[in-house]
Amino acid sequence: MNRLVVLGGLPGTGKTTLAREVSRRHGAFYLRIDTIEQSIRAWIPGDMGPAGYAVAMALARENLSGGQTVVVDAVNPVVECREAWREIAAKTAVPLLEIEVVCSDAAEHRRRVETRRSDIEGLVPPTWDEVVGRYYVPWSEPHWIIDTAVMSAGEAVQAIGARMTE
């Protein structure tokens, strides 16, 4: 059965690592907001607003409607983003797995942010100050939290896979 798996959370928590591996193991369509936004920026410089999310959501709808499982890798910093993913799952009649990826160890989170290298041409990763100063509305909606400070990437991917088959 196809489904929509949305991983959100601040930069440096491990979303990309988990989303890529879950997508690979389950043959899912992988949507990474950073890739979409940087591709748009390369052609249209400046503030893009919600354009990257709009493109990702359109691609998610199309692939879910075609029977594909979709794994989304995005910060999802505001309630409106999270509501939009829920609406897409409802309209395409697929189960939704919402996961907030966190790193509860601030020193480890900072180390990850400060040592990251971008794998997207032209994308400069945020600094630690930018990450902690980012506008991010805490999740009040029902969701699952994965803490990468206490769970290895392998354990998290395995746990996500188990939830995807429930």
The pLDDT tens digits of the residues spanning 56-108 come to 999 999 999 999 999 999 999 999 999 999 999 999 999 999 999 999 999 99
As a whole number, mean pLDDT of residues 110-139 equals: 92
Q: What gap in Å lies between CA 166 and CA 149, rounded to an integer?
A: 25
- On whether the CB atoms of residues 72 and 6 are closer than 8 A, the answer is yes
> What is the domain extent for residue 70?
4-164
Tokens standing for 4? 């929509």
- Structural domain total, the chain: 1
Judged against a pLDDT cut of 80, whether residue 46 lies above it is answered with no
Question: Which CATH number characterizes residue 46's domain?
Answer: 3.40.50.300
| pLDDT confidence of residue 30 | 98
